[in-house]
Amino acid sequence: MSRERRGTLAPGDDPREILELEPNATDEDIRAAYLQKVKEHPPERSPEAFERIRDAYELLRDPRRRALCFLLSVDAMGPLVSLVADRVGKRQFVGPGPWLDVLREK
Amino acid sequence: MQQWAVWAEEVERLLEQGKSKPAVELAKVAHKHTASAASEALLVKAYAARIRALVQAGLNEEAKALLALVGQRYSRFKEALAGIGFILHAGTSLDDFLRPFADPDLPQDRRAEIETVIRRELTDLGPLAQSAVLPATHPLRLAATKLEQAFRAVTTGPVSDDALSLTEISHQSPLAPWKSLVRAIASFYRGDDRACERWLEQVAADSAPARLVPALSVMLAKPSKQPLKPAAIRLTTQIVGEASSVRASLEALDRAFVGGKPKRIARHIEKAVAAVKTSCPDLVERLKQHIAVRAYVSDRRALAAIPDGYRKDAHFWHLLARLTELLERDFTLEACSLWEQFRKHAVAQGLFAEDGPEIAALYLHMAEILEQSSPEELARERPAFEDRFPGYLKYYSDQPADIRRAGARQDPEACYFLYPELLYARACAIDPDPEIFRQWLHWARRSEDWHVSDRAAQSWRRALPKDGRPLLHLMESAEKRGALKKALGYLEEAEALDRLNPEVRRARLRLLTANAVRHLSQNKVHLVELDAAALEALPQAGEVNRPAFPAALRWASGVLHNNRQEALHYSAQVAALLESRAAATVTLANLADMAGFRSAANGFLGSDISGEKIAEAVARACALGEDLGLKFVVPSEWDEKILDELRERRLEVGTRQLCLLAEAALRAGRRELAFAACGAGLAKGGPTEARFLLLRGQALPEWEFSRRDECFIAAAELARRQRDMDLAEEAVELLRTYSRQGSTFLRWAAHREPRSFSMSSEEVQKILERERKASKLPVLSPDKPAPDYGSGRWNEEIEEENEEENEEEEDDSFAAMNFKELTQFLFELAKRIVGPRDPDGTPGKRHRPSSRGPRSLF
C-alpha cells in the first residue's frame, strides 16, 4: 500500500522491535538504541544485521515516516495470542512436584 | 494330546496374526478340555495379548477390568501380567514389573518389551532409582538415580552444564528421553530458548517425558497445537505467571475463530476475556476490540458474546481501518472513512496533535489509498458513496460520553477524506515539505483536467516560493494549452530563481521557438526577425544544429513576403548549417506545415537530394525539432528510400536520432517506417534497447496484441534493470493504456489487464532476439500461419467481466479493418482459442472458457 521505502525490512517487520524500543520512545531514545545496536552488530562483522538496523533507524528517525510506520503497525487479523507476546515474566523454580504432576496426568 | 497340540499351534498362529479375540476363545476351549499348566499358560498369554489390543484400541477401562479378572483367576501369573498392569496403572507395583529385569538370562525380546514400557510409561524416576529388585549397581537403576538428581536440580535452581553431562545414559537407554528433558529444562531456565527447543525436539514423541513438551512450548511462547491440561496450566502459571494460561486461552479462541462454530467461539470469547481480566487486566479492552474487529469480518454474531461490550476508541477504528484497506480495492472509500474516524478519536484522546506530523502522515496515507483509482474513476465512484454513506453515529449508541463526543465531531469539509486533493492540501498545510508537494503534483498530473495539477503547483509555489519546480510545471502546463504569454511569465520567475537550471534553459529556447511559430501562423511576419534575433541572443543558441532555426525563420519570412531570392538564400543557409539539403527540406517543410503556409512554401523547399543519406538527414532534422520542442513529421514520399537505408543497417545515425526518427514516424502513423527504425536501433544494442522495444511495441499492428504486450513488458524489465524508472513507468502506463483502448472485441480477444509486469532475463533476451531479427512489419495474410505469441504467461487469464464491460462502445479499430485484415485477425484469434496445432497438424485440444471465474485460452 505505502510507497514508503523499507529497504531490507519486510512488510511485517517492526522497526521498533528491531531496535528494541518502547512504543513511546523519544528521538533521543531512538538514536541511543540505534547506536547501541550498531555497536553490537558493526557493518564489517554482520553486514546484513547492520543493514536491517540502519533501515529500521531510517524509518523511525523522521517523524512523518515514524507516524506512517505506526499507522501500518496494527495487525487486525494477527493471532490474538500476540497480544500477550511480551508478557512473559521471570521464570520461577517450582521444584520437581508440579513437573511430575504433568507427567502423571493422563 | 494330539488335539491339544493342534489347538496350541492354532492359538499361536492367531496371536501372531494379531487376532487376539479368537485366540482367547480357542485357548479357553483348549484349557477347558486339557486343563494342564501348559493350557493355563497359553490362555493367560492369549488374555495378555487381548488386554494389549484393548489398550491399543483406547479401551483402557475394558482392559483394566479384564486384567483384574485374569489376575484374580490366574494369580500365579501375576509377574507376567505386571508389565501390562504398569501400562494401565492398574495397581501393579513397579517392583513386580521390574523383577524379571534383574535376571541376567532374561530373553532379549522380553527385555526390549520392559524397556519400551519404561520409556513410554515411567513418569517418576524416584521409584526406579530406589527399586529393591534391582541391584544398586544395575545400569538402569544407576541411570535413574543420576537423572532423578539432575531433574530435581534443574527444577529447583540454576545448574551448570557440567552437572548435566549424564554420560551414563546412552541414546539407546529407555531413559534417554529423560536426559533430553532435563537438558531442555536447564536451557529453559537459563533463558536459552533455542537450545531448549532443540532438546525438546529430541524427546521421543511416544515417551513419557514428551508429556511436558506442550507446557514447555507454551512457556516458550510457541503456539500449542492442543489445549493444555489442568496440571500443565498449573505448572505454566506457577513458572511464568498467568500470561501462559492467558496465552493458552487466546490460542483456543484463535482456533475457535478458525473453526467458525458460533457457540464455540462465544464460549472461548468468555473464557479468554475472563482469563485476561484476571491476569492482565490492562489488556482487557484491547482484547475485546481485537475480538470485535475479528467478528466484523468472520461472524458478527460473536459480537454479542463480548462481555460488557467494547470501547470504540482510536484503537478500535485503527484496527478496523487497517483491516478494511487490506481487504479489497473495492473498499478504498470505506477504508478512508474509517481512517477519518480513527483521526477524530486519536486527536480527542491526545494520541496526536491536530496539526502534528502524524496527522499529516495519515492524510498522505489516505491519499495513497485513493490513488489506487484514477482521478476519473474516483470522480465516478464518489457521488454514490457520499449518497449512501450514513456516517458512523449509530455505532456509538452504547458508548461512553467521551467516545460519543469524539466520534460525533463533524469536519467542516464533510467527506473531505474522499478527495486526494483535499487530503494533500491538508497534509501540506501541516507539513509543507517539498516531497509532499511533489507527491501531490505527481498524483494531480494523472488527471485529464489541467486545473487539478495547476492547483497543486500553485499551492506548492505559495508555500515554498523559492522552489522552481512548481513554476516549471505551471510553465509547461500553460505551454501545452498554448498560453505562451503566461508560460513566458512563469519562465521569467523560474529564471529569476535559477537561471542555470538545464530545464529552465531548455524551456526558454522552446518557448521562444513556439512564440516564433505562432507569429508565423498569425502572419505577424514583422515580428519574425525579432524572434530570430531573440533566439540567436540566447547563450545556448549556438549549440549543435540550433543556428539553423533562426535561418529557417528568415526563410519563412522570405516565403511569406514572396521574396524568392531571400527564401532561397536562407534555404541554402539552413542546408549548409545542417550539412544536408534533405535535412533542410524536412525542417523547412515542417515549419511551413506548423505555421500553416505549406502550399505557399512548396516552391521554395528545393528538391535535389541526390546522393544524400536520407535516413540520416531526416533523423538530424527530427533531432533539431525535438531540441526546439517541435514535433517534426517525416515526408511520406521518402519512405521507400529511408526503409531501404534502414534495412541495410549500415547507417551512421546514432541511436538517439533513430529513436527520434521512429517517434516521428509513429506520430505520422507510418508503422512500417517506425518498425524499421526500431529494428535498426535494436541492432545497435546498448542501453537504448528498452526504448526501442517500447517504440517497436507501438509500431506493431493492433492485432499483434500479444507481441506488443511482450515488447512493453520486456522494455519495462530492461528499464528497471537500468534503473531508468521513468521509462519503466512509461512502459507500464502504455501497457495499461493499450489495455483500456481499442475495441471491445479486441480488448476481449487480447484479454488485457496482464497480471505481471516482470519477466526473466531469458525471456527478455528471447524477445530482444526476436525483434532484432524481424525485418518487416507483420502484414495480414490468411495464407500465412500467424506467429505464435500466445505462449506468454502474461495473457494466461481472461476475466469474464471483460466480455461485458463497455458493450455499447463503438468498435472503431475493428471497423477500421479491411476484409483481409479481419480474416487474418479471426484466424489468429481462432488459433488462440483452439490452441496450438498437434504435431500431426490437427488442431490441439479446444479450451472451453469456463462460465465461472477466470479462464484460460491456452
Quick check: B251 and A98 CB within 8 A? no
Distance CA B316, CA B400 (A): 14
Name the one residue in this structure whose C-alpha cell is 506468454: B792
Length of chain A measured in residues: 106
Which chain B residue is nearest to residue A89, measuring alpha carbons? B240
Partner A, chain B 817-846, Cβ-Cβ below 8 Å: none
State how far the alpha carbon of A48 is from the alpha carbons of A38, A59, B452, in Å: 12, 17, 44
| Position B645, amino acid | E
Q: Which H or E element spans position B648?
A: helix B639-648
CB contact under 8 A, B433 and A1: no
Bridge partners of B798, per DSSP, are: B855
Which pLDDT band, with edges at 50, 70 and 90, does B712 fall under?
very high
Question: Which residue from A85, A87, A105 is facing B231, i.e. has the nearest CB?
Answer: A105
Q: How far apart are CA B148 and CA B151, in angstroms?
A: 5
Flag whether residue B724 sits within 8 Å of chain A, measured between CB atoms. Answer: no
Q: Do B326 and A70 touch (CB under 8 A)?
A: no
Report the distance separating Cα B261 and Cα B146, nearest Å: 49
- Predicted confidence (pLDDT) at residue B828 exceeds the cutoff of 80: no
Of B158-162, B524-528, B529-533, the least confident = B158-162
Put simply, whether A10 touches B (Cβ < 8 Å) is no
| Identity of the amino acid at B212 | L
Nearest to B323 among A76, A79, A94 (CB): A76
The more confidently predicted of residues B375 and B437 is: B437
Shortest CA gap B369–chain A (Å): 7
Q: Which of A5-14, B210-219, B523-532 has the lowest mean pLDDT?
A: A5-14
Would you place residue B526 in the very low, low, confident or very high pLDDT band (cuts 50, 70, 90)? confident
Give the model's pLDDT for residue B829: 54
Helix (H) or strand (E) holding B249: helix B242-259
Identify all chain B residues contacting A71, using CB atoms and an 8 Å cutoff: 318, 322, 358, 361-362, 365
Cα–Cα distance, B465 to B136 (Å, whole number): 95
The residue-averaged pLDDT of B99-123 equals: 82
Q: Is A95 on the interface with B (CB under 8 A)?
A: yes
Q: Is-contact B815 B745, C-beta < 8 A?
A: no
Q: Are B841 and B774 in contact (CB under 8 A)?
A: no
The band of B562, judged by pLDDT with boundaries at 50, 70 and 90, is confident
CB atoms within 10 A of CB B464: 16
Q: Do A95 and B155 touch (CB under 8 A)?
A: yes
Among partner residues A1, A63, A75, which is closest to B325 by beta-carbon distance?
Answer: A1
**B332 chain-A contacts, CB cut-off 8 A:** none
Higher pLDDT, B412 or B439: B439
pLDDT score at B513: 92
The answer, for B442 touching chain A at a CB cutoff of 8 Å, is: no
Over the stretch B618-675, which tens digit does the pLDDT of each residue have?
888 998 998 888 888 887 888 888 888 887 766 677 888 889 889 989 988 889 999 9
Q: Would the CB atoms of B211 and A63 count as touching at under 8 Å?
A: no
Quick check: B339 pLDDT over 90? yes
Using the predicted structure, report yes or no on whether residue B809 has a pLDDT greater than 90. Answer: no
Residues 6+ apart with CB under 8 A from B318: A71, A74, B342, B346
Sorted by sequence, the CB contacts under 8 Å of residue B751 that are 6+ apart come out as B795, B797, B798, B799, B802, B857
Please give the full DSSP string across B512-577, using - where no structure is assigned.
HHHHHHHHHHTT-GGGHHHHHHHHHHSGGGGSTTTTHHHHHHHHHHHHHTT-HHHHHHHHHHHHHH
Residue type at B625?
G
Assigned C-alpha cell, B332: 478504498
Tell me which residue in A71, A102, A105 faces B361 most closely, judged by beta carbons.
A71
Mean pLDDT over the full length of chain B: 82
Q: Where does the pLDDT of residue B121 fall: very low under 50, low under 70, confident under 90, or very high at 90 and above?
A: confident
Q: Which residue of A has its CA nearest to B150?
A: A96
Amino acid at B247: R
CA distances from B565 to B520, B562, B649 (A): 19, 9, 39
pLDDT score at B856: 21
* B135 three-state secondary structure: coil
How many whole angstroms separate alpha carbon B277 and alpha carbon B548? 85
Tell me the three cell numbers of residue B290.
481485537
**Is B456's pLDDT higher than 80?**
yes
> Mapping DSSP to helix (H, G, I), strand (E, B) and coil, where does residue B855 land?
strand
Cell representation of residue B170:
546412552
Q: DSSP label at B90?
A: S
- Report the alpha-carbon angle B276-B280-B284, nearest 5: 55
Using the 8-state DSSP alphabet, how is residue B806 labeled? T
CB neighbours (10 Å) of residue B607? 9
Whole-number pLDDT of residue A89: 62
Across B77-88, average pLDDT: 64
Q: How many residues does chain B have?
A: 858
SS3 (DSSP) at B308: coil
Say whether A101 and B360 touch across the interface (CB within 8 A). Answer: no
| Helices marked H in A1-106 | 15-18, 27-40, 47-61, 63-71, 96-104
Q: How far separated are the first and last CA of chain A, in Å rounded?
A: 50
Percentage with pLDDT > 70 across chain B? 85
Q: Does A92 touch chain B (CB under 8 A)?
A: yes
pLDDT of residue B156: 92
Q: Give the mean model confidence (pLDDT) for residues B560-570.
A: 89
Check residue B543 and give its pLDDT: 81
- Within 13 A of B702's CA, how many CA atoms are on the CB side? 23
The band of B472, judged by pLDDT with boundaries at 50, 70 and 90, is very high
Residue among B745, B778, B705, B748 at smallest CA distance from B849: B748
Q: How far is B752 from chain A (nearest CA, A)?
A: 23
pLDDT of residue B794: 37
pTM of the shown model? 0.59
B505-517 residue pLDDT tens = 888 889 999 999 9
Does A68 contact B364 at a Cβ distance shorter than 8 Å?
yes
A26–chain B nearest CA distance, Å:
14
**Hey, are the CB atoms on B431 and A98 less than 8 Å from each other?**
no
- Identity of the residue in A2, A80, A89 whose CB atom sits nearest the CB atom of B254: A80
**Nearest-CA residue of chain A relative to B253?**
A80
Contact A64 B433 (CB under 8 A): yes
User: Three cell numbers at B838?
Assistant: 498437434
Are B657 and B622 a contacting pair, CB within 8 Å?
A: yes
**Which of B211, B234, B361 lies nearest to residue A98, judging by beta carbons?**
B234
Mutate one of B219, B240, B424 to test the A interface: name it (highest A CB count within 10 A).
B240
CA A7 to chain centre: 17
Give the per-residue pLDDT at A81. Answer: 83
Best residue in A4, A103, A105, A106 to probe B by mutation, most B CBs within 10 Å?
A: A103
* Whether B358 and A76 lie within 8 Å, measured CB to CB: no
> What is the distance of C-alpha A12 from the center of its chain?
11
Place of cell 453515529: B393
pLDDT digits (tens, 9 = 90+) for A54-98: 988 988 888 888 888 888 878 888 888 888 776 656 788 999 999
Using the Cβ of B200 and the Cβ atoms of chain A, whether some distance falls under 8 Å is answered with: no
- Rg (C-alpha) for chain B, rounded Å, is 43
Q: Pick from B704, B702, B701, B731: which is nearest to B715 by CA?
A: B731
Q: Do B209 and A103 touch (CB under 8 A)?
A: yes
Instruction: State the smallest CA–CA distance between residue B791 and chain A in angstroms.
Output: 31
Interface of A with B in 41-80 (CB under 8 A): 63-65, 67-68, 70-72, 74-77, 79-80
Q: Name which of B125, B136, B152 is nearest B208 in CA terms.
A: B125
Contact assignment for B235 to A70 by CB distance below 8 Å: no
Q: Which amino acid is at B720?
A: R
Question: Which ipTM was obtained for this model?
Answer: 0.71
Bridge partner residues of B855 (DSSP): B798
Does the distance separating the beta carbons of A91 and B188 come in below 8 Å?
yes
Q: How far apart are CA B276 and CA B253, in angstroms?
A: 12
Closest to B621 measured CA to CA, from B649, B655, B587: B587
- Residues 312-371 on B with a CB inside 8 Å of A are 315, 318-320, 322-323, 325-326, 352, 356-358, 360-362, 364-365, 368-369
Least reliable range by pLDDT among B243-247, B288-292, B348-352, B652-656: B243-247
* Listed residue (B735, B727, B718, B747) closest to B805, CA to CA: B747
Give the whole-angstrom CA distance, residue B208 versus residue B206. 7
Residue B346 has pLDDT above 90, yes or no: yes
In the predicted structure, residue B841 carries a pLDDT above the cut 50: no
A24 to chain B, any CB pair closer than 8 A? The answer is no
**Which residue is closest to A62 within chain B, CA to CA?**
B357
Predicted confidence (pLDDT) at residue B56 exceeds the cutoff of 60: yes
pLDDT attached to residue B798: 32
Model pLDDT, residue B316: 94
Q: Which three cell numbers stand for residue B38?
A: 501348559
**DSSP symbol at B809:** S
Supply φ then ψ for residue B520, to 5 degrees: -65, -45
Q: Output b/e per residue, B587-602; b: 16+ Cβ within 10 A.
A: bbbbbbebbebeeebe
**Residue B788: what pLDDT?**
46
pLDDT score of B205: 87
Is the model's pLDDT at B837 over the cut of 60? no
Shortest distance, CA A102 to any CA of chain B (angstroms): 5
Closest CA to B621 of B634, B640, B605: B634
User: In this complex, do A77 and B221 lie within 8 Å of one another by their Cβ atoms?
Assistant: no
Q: Which amino acid is at B43?
A: L
- Residue B355 in 3-state DSSP? coil
Q: Which pLDDT does position B473 carry in this prediction?
A: 95
Angstrom distance (rounded) from CA B835 to CA B823:
18
**Average confidence (pLDDT) over B581-588:** 90
Residues of A in contact with B219 (CB under 8 A): 88, 91
Q: Do A76 and B157 make contact, defined as CB atoms within 8 angstroms?
A: no
Q: Is A102 in contact with B235 (Cβ distance < 8 A)? A: yes
Question: Pick from B334, B293, B335: which is nearest to B313 by CA?
Answer: B293
- DSSP code at position B371: T
3-state secondary structure B705-765: HHHHHHHHHHHHHHHHHCCCHHHHHHHHHHHHHHHHCCCHHHHHHCCCCCCCCCCCHHHHH
The reply to whether A28 touches chain B by the CB within 8 Å rule is no
- Nearest CA to B586 out of B552, B646, B633 is that of B633
d(Cα B130, Cα B125) in Å, to the nearest integer? 9
Chain B segment 250-309 residues within 8 A of A by beta carbon are 250-251, 253-254, 272, 276, 280, 283, 286-287, 290-291, 293-294, 297
